[in-house]
Amino acid sequence: MMNVFLSYILLGLSLAAPIGPINAAQIDKGIRHGFMHSWLIGVGAVVADGVYMLVVYLGVVHFLETSFMKTFLWSFGCFVLIYTGIETLRSANELSIGTNRKKEPLIKSFISGFFMSISNPLTILFWLGIYGSVLAKTAATYETTELVLYSSAIFIGLLLWDLTMACISSNFRKYLTSSLLKGISILSGLSLIGFGIYFGIQAYQALFG
């Protein structure tokens, strides 16, 4: 049973690890504002993951698969990512090693991570494919208590990755020069805009394709 539990933690880690908009935003927030801001971006994303896990579990996935909802989510995701990317680029020039981190509300980081993840149709597809199959396999083999236990193991994996990203990005600042700091922030912003443009193309194709 412990081996199965650990395998689900590893599944959670592997789900969170691929570089995407959340990781890009976490790196930027960690460098700018420190550990808590970076971690809360990840926590917001995990809460959004939880919403989709619940949707898959309750079997109301068909609502999310409608063309209207897909188009809406691609469009909303496009707006959220491009807006966040532009905001990141705009403030990149203000960064330097000597500057104190500006006080920013922690809730803003959480909300940013949540909306970035909840508006990402790839998250839905991810949970449909991964969690849907896990659910089918687990439900056929185990009781409901085991299902809850293994689902929580996936969350532990997700949160462990967020913790790692937050630690790395917030401590990374110490070893960076001002120009490298700005460079990473600019790359982060461009990465978010790139993801946003991809979402926008998907929304356009869903509407007119």
Residue 97 CA to residue 123 CA, distance in Å, equals: 35
In a domain, 144, yes or no: yes
pLDDT at position 107? 93
In a domain, 75, yes or no: yes
pLDDT at position 59? 74
pLDDT at position 44? 95
In a domain, 8, yes or no: no
Cβ atoms 119, 70 nearer than 8 A: no
Token pair listed for 202: 């998907």
pLDDT at position 139? 63
In a domain, 6, yes or no: no
Contacts of 126 (CB under 8 A, 6+ apart): 15
In a domain, 15, yes or no: no
Q: Residues 133, 136, 139, CA angle at the centre, nearest 5°?
A: 140
pLDDT at position 92? 73
pTM of structure: 0.75
Dihedral over Cα of 63, 68, 70, 75: its sign: negative
Residue 38 CA to residue 26 CA, distance in Å, equals: 5
pLDDT at position 19? 61
Domain, as residue range, for 199: 22-208
DSSP string, 139-164: HHHS-HHHHHHHHHHHHHHHHHHHHH
pLDDT at position 65? 66
In a domain, 153, yes or no: yes
In a domain, 9, yes or no: no
Cβ atoms 158, 12 nearer than 8 A: yes
Low-confidence ranges of the chain (pLDDT < 70): 1, 17-19, 60-62, 64-65, 94-103, 129-130, 133-140, 142
pLDDT at position 154? 86
Structural domains of the chain, count: 1
In a domain, 10, yes or no: no
